[in-house]
Amino acid sequence: MSKKLKIGLFGFGVVGQGLHDIIRGQDLNLEIIKIAIKNPDKKRSLDAHLFTTDHNELLNNSEINTIVELIDDADAAFDIVKRALISGKNVVSANKKMIASHLAELVELQEKYDASLLYEGAVCGSIPIIRNLEEYYDNELLHGISGIFNGSSNYILSKIFNENLEYGVALKQAQDLGFAETDPILDVGGYDPKFKLAIATAHAYGLFINPDKILNIGIQNLSENDIRYAREKNFKIKLVPTARKISTKQVVTYVLPKFVKSDDFLYNVENEYNGVTVQAAFADKQFFFGKGAGGHPTGAAVLSDIAALRYGYRYEYKKYHQHNGLLHTDDVNIEVYLRYVHEYTVEKLQIENIVERFSRDDYKYVIGNVSLKSLIANRDLLEQKDVFIAHTGKYTYTEQQIKTVADEEVLFN
């Protein structure tokens, strides 16, 4: 028998209204008691008595047993979620920055106060990737997860490669459709997919990684020169977050533009759609696909979490509690395309084993190997307007790295 949920909803923007649209008219054994909003003067589609600007009307209401948090402010969201869990209320959230930044503390609060926090809607919209990583891949050896986690940047790249739009025009379209914010840097700069990657990595590997430790380089510096190069090679450029196991006990994470070949699942993921590839030892390569932006797709994921709470579902974080000895590392070399103007860029990044080089008066590019450690140390350089970097998809290993992997395999096999 399912428990009736009495809901306090924080936020009535795109996702909040999308959730309400889905719920309306369905017999789901739940009821929205109160909705907290920021702007009391904004015209609403529901009765005024449902709305309040006072958070306490929801958090201190004993009738409300479930909090649904759908606001943009990560700090305010954490305060709401923390207070709700401490009071024993279950919570559903879609705030990826808040969850990624405070996951360890949120897990402790859930255990201490016997409450559940679910957040499928925080990662890849309508794709149920968190629950799959949590449950289906519980006993799998995961080699890696990667994909397109941000519908806004993917929409822009799709318009550039499929319709020959300029970057600025494609960005404006994404903003007009509500896929990108007025200040789009969270999306196009790779911050949004970084937070989502941190959450996915926690459920894939049991590693709670501070998002500040994950390199994110976006597509904001993409130029016609980079697009021309990709087209000449029959590639598309996608913004791809990656978590990859590079040895028995080491996992690397990063968000970088990537040259994607036509035989890659991600090649045909277009517009606001997201796609996640999971590479596993026994299940091999699997692919999840669905809409990643918009009120209804994300609202559907939020509703899925709400429905799961009716039957007492909670994440168990089994991989985290197993203390499996996995470590987060930046000790890996990857092959990259680097477009630049000043020669010191190549020298400072310590690009090695260059296999292709091009130079003309207004720009240059090389393809060669670079350490992830060096990219992290020179992040400011990579964000300069005359620099663009993309992963070719290849990894390389130094002799010392190969020896470390070999030693680990002897030790743990």
Q: Positive or negative CA dihedral for 295, 193, 288, 164?
A: positive
Could you tell me which residues come within 8 angstroms of residue 248 by beta carbon, excluding any fewer than 6 positions away? Answer: 405, 408, 409, 411, 412, 413
d(CA 116, CA 151): 28
Three-state DSSP state, 370: strand
> How far is the first Cα of the chain from the last one, in angstroms, to the nearest whole number?
46
Integer angstrom CA distances of residue 404 from 249, 250, 401, 410? 10, 10, 5, 10
Q: In what order do the strands lie in the sheet with 66-69?
A: 51-52, 30-36, 5-10, 66-69, 90-93, 117-118
C-alpha atoms less than 13 angstroms from C-alpha of 312 in its C-beta half-sphere? 3
196 assigned to active site: yes
Residue burial 267-300, b: 16+ Cβ < 10 Å; e: rest: eebbbbbbbbbbbbeeeeeeebbbbbbbbbbbbb
d(CA 193, CA 186): 9
Q: Which of 96, 196, 245, 258 is catalytic?
A: 196
Integer angstrom CA distances of residue 27 from 58, 175, 189, 192? 23, 35, 41, 34
Which tokens go with 64?
């409300």
Integer angstrom CA distances of residue 268 from 150, 169, 344, 404? 15, 21, 37, 37
Which residue, among 111, 125, 142, has the nearest Cα to 314 in the 3D structure? 111
d(CA 119, CA 110): 13
Which residue, among 52, 60, 62, 93, has the nearest Cα to 76 in the 3D structure? 93
Which residue, among 116, 106, 138, 306, has the nearest Cα to 208 in the 3D structure? 106
Could you tell me which residues come within 8 angstroms of residue 111 by beta carbon, excluding any fewer than 6 positions away? Answer: none
Q: What angle do CA 374, 376, 381 make, to 5 degrees?
A: 85
Which tokens go with 17?
């209204």
Catalytic sites, residue numbers: 196
